[in-house]
Amino acid sequence: MLAGFNNITFEFGARVIVEDATWHIHPGERIGLIGYNGTGKSTMLKLFVGEYLPSAGTVEKGRDTTIGYLHQDLLSFDTNDSILEVAMGAFEKVKQLEKEIETLGHELENSTNMDADKQEILLHQYTDKLHDLEVLGGYTIHHRTEEVLQGLGFKNADLGRPYKEFSGGWRMRVLLAKMILQAPDLLLLDEPTNHLDLPSIEWLEKYLVHYQGSVVIVSHDKFFLDRMVTKIVEVYQQQLHIYTGNYSFYEKEKAIRVDLAQKAYENQQDYIRQQERFIERFKAKASKAAQAQSALKKLDKIERLDQVEIERPNLRINFQVDRQPGKVLVTLKHVTKRFGELTIVENAEAEIERGDKIALIGANGKGKSTLLRVIAGVEPFEGERVWGHNVQESFYAQHQLEALDLNNDILEEMQTSRSGKTELELRSLLGCFLFSGDDVDKKIKILSGGEKARVALAKVIVSKANFLMLDEPTNHLDIHSVELLADALNKYEGSIIMVSHDRYFISKTANKIWEIVDQEIKEFKGGYTEYVEWKERMAKQQAADQKNNKGEKVKEQPVKNNEPVVKKQEPVKPIEAPKPQFNNNDRKRDLLQLQKQFSKVEEQVNQLNKQKAQIEINLADPAYYSDKNKFQQLEKDYAAVQQKLSVATKQYEEMFEKIMELEG
């Protein structure tokens, strides 16, 4: 066991966070720590590192266990050092060794007047230190640090820049890189994806899958949890509930547990009612009095089950529209936006229509938030932005939480929106966002990140806009609140353009995808799942084209950032279909022959689909993805099956069309 809780109880004043809770973390585990906002997820992490102490029970940690803890409070750290130097702070032992080696080297240089024995001792010490440095990987720390920083989205040109020049999100990446390089036995990550773009999240996923230590992750990103964790710990009703599986398994298993608990409660209630009727009926009869008394004693000894009550905040988000706009909401014409030598978009054109729900995605630094601000009219640019008829817009920006007046209470902050609503109407709306009664009198400065996010969202909703521009709206929301927000946006009758790194949220809300590519706005008409599938097909097609171009071989790319190696597969030899002859005598013969070939290809497609499904099951099995070699082999097999399936599917479709032509 690396660390754990033994029957701990922890309270904030009169409020109990957990009571008599036990949880042990073992080597190699990847755990998702979940719960509604305010239930105490971050508190659990602080108990592990000793920032909080339990009022009862014990927090245990192995004698040699090292813990790394990533949390938002780290942003108070500031320095003029470069981000490379900050990240390399992970190697304190190596740096200390380097200083000792340097000192010994100077002593050896000046040892000409020293006796031979002392010289030999110095030389042995110097040699031993060099060996220790090699064992610690001291000669590769610079390269390893660069790799991790690049994986988290930094460019080579950024590595020498002072840490203090970067924004909060980028600073958090540097500190995450430092923590990863320290390679602690137990890594505690509190919302690590909040400040990462999609490519960086994907890189972090690959890294953590092969991480040798244990990881506990607090995250609202269901996709991230599904791919990362093999165990879920839920903070729920002052208890820690443990589920062995990823987030999808937890959802199914919890539903089963709740159902079984409810049935057990109902069965016990039926039994109690039967016994009470028996006791009431026969307690006065002499012949049955003893039996009635015995039944009463048994009833008194029963440990009564509580009725199952689902503790689920009912965030009743309802985006209303005051009036319908015209067909086109906004048109961008010849838009160019630059920051010095950096060009975000150049001569770009795009159009947002009524009913569009657009996700603007891509790596950080591509200008997603900048483009959103251009559309909102809060960022200067070259070109033209034309609003459509009857458009009422509302902009939810990343900085909106910071824009809240900390000295206002919640109700006062809502009144600054100048919506014209009465205090009673504003209180009713805030009730939908879980601020009821005296909660509306709380000062903004004492609210949690999730509570501030709900206030900012409430200010957006009160506008009754028919066009919403949302920049990372899921940050600081728990998983359930993200689901409710997605449901509300699906029902919303207006139009949306949003920037988000939350793949679950995007997949549930977007019907179009925008991406900034080569300073242009590229549009994909379809949801996120279809977009990802299309990108994968395009990448495979491009790779296949490169391989087949004049028979040239594609150079294998070097392996970076622990990415699995996928060796090139042998090209699949297609089943040659006979060319149909369209004269009357041969038509039937050609059709019969083609149908036989078609049956073979159809069987091949079915078999390949079965192989693909089995590999996907294995990829989700902890026994495979916790083993680096097995996982890499599975990825190779998966790539091979995908390639074969692509070829076979194309043959299948071509033959089907020929058969239809012949039968016609």
Q: Binning pLDDT at 50, 70 and 90, where does residue 294 land?
A: confident
Provide DSSP, 231-244: EEEEEETTEEEEES
567: tokens are 């060796």
Burial of 649 (0-12, 13-18, 19+ CB in 10 A): middle
Listed in sequence order, the residues at least 6 apart from 50 whose beta carbon sits closer than 8 Å to its beta carbon are: 59
Q: How many CA atoms lie within 13 A of 610 on its CB side?
A: 6
Show me where the domains of the chain are located: 1-66+186-222+229-279, 328-526, 551-663
Amino acid 57: pLDDT: 93
Amino acid 616: pLDDT: 59
20: tokens are 């008599």
- Residues 439, 178: Cα–Cα separation, whole Å: 39
103: tokens are 């000192």
> Percent of the chain at pLDDT above 70?
84
Q: How many CA atoms lie within 13 A of 325 on its CB side?
A: 26
Amino acid 622: pLDDT: 53
H-type helices in 526-583, by residue range? Answer: 528-548
Closest among 243, 274, 245 to 258, alpha carbons compared: 243
Q: Which residue has the tokens 């194309």?
A: 650
Q: Binning pLDDT at 50, 70 and 90, where does residue 269 land?
A: confident
- Residues 482, 447: Cα–Cα separation, whole Å: 19
CB 443 within 8 A of CB 409: yes
For residues 197, 200, 204, 207, the Cα torsion angle rounded to the nearest 10 degrees is 170
Least confident of 246-250, 427-431, 468-472, 529-533: 427-431
Closest among 583, 388, 634 to 495, alpha carbons compared: 388
- Residues 53, 8: Cα–Cα separation, whole Å: 9
Closest among 60, 59, 56 to 10, alpha carbons compared: 56
pLDDT(580) > 60: no
546: tokens are 């490169």
Least confident of 238-252, 286-300, 342-356, 380-394: 286-300
pLDDT(611) > 60: yes
pLDDT(334) > 80: yes
Closest among 440, 407, 408, 444 to 423, alpha carbons compared: 440
Least confident of 196-200, 225-229, 493-497, 573-577: 573-577
Q: Binning pLDDT at 50, 70 and 90, where does residue 563 land?
A: very low
Position with higher pLDDT, 225 vs 484: 225
Q: Binning pLDDT at 50, 70 and 90, where does residue 128 land?
A: confident
Least confident of 28-32, 228-232, 627-631: 627-631
Query: How many helices, marked H, and strands, marked E, lie in the chain?
Result: 21, 18
Q: 3-class DSSP state for residue 251?
A: helix
Q: Which fold has domain 328-526?
A: Rossmann fold (3.40.50)
CB 329 within 8 A of CB 354: yes
11-70 pLDDT, tens digit per residue, is 987 788 999 999 999 999 999 999 887 788 989 999 999 999 999 999 998 888 999 998
How are the residues of the chain apportioned to helix, strand and coil, as percentages rounded to the nearest 5? 50, 20, 30
- Residues 233, 243: Cα–Cα separation, whole Å: 6
Whole-angstrom CA distances from 426 to 132, 245, 418, 539 are: 66, 42, 11, 50
Handedness of CA 93, 95, 96, 100 (dihedral sign): positive
- Residue 627's CB is within 10 A of a number of other CB atoms, namely 14
Closest among 140, 207, 141, 143 to 173, alpha carbons compared: 207
pLDDT(401) > 70: no
- Residue 381's CB is within 10 A of a number of other CB atoms, namely 20
- Residues 17, 14: Cα–Cα separation, whole Å: 10
The amino acid that residue 320 corresponds to is Q
Amino acid 313: pLDDT: 52
CATH no. of 1-66+186-222+229-279: 3.40.50.300
Least confident of 328-332, 357-361, 417-421, 455-459: 417-421
Amino acid 399: pLDDT: 62
Amino acid 550: pLDDT: 56
In this prediction, residues 419-423 reach a mean pLDDT of 78
504-542 pLDDT, tens digit per residue, is 899 999 999 999 988 899 999 999 989 988 888 888 888
Burial of 536 (0-12, 13-18, 19+ CB in 10 A): exposed
Amino acid 266: pLDDT: 84
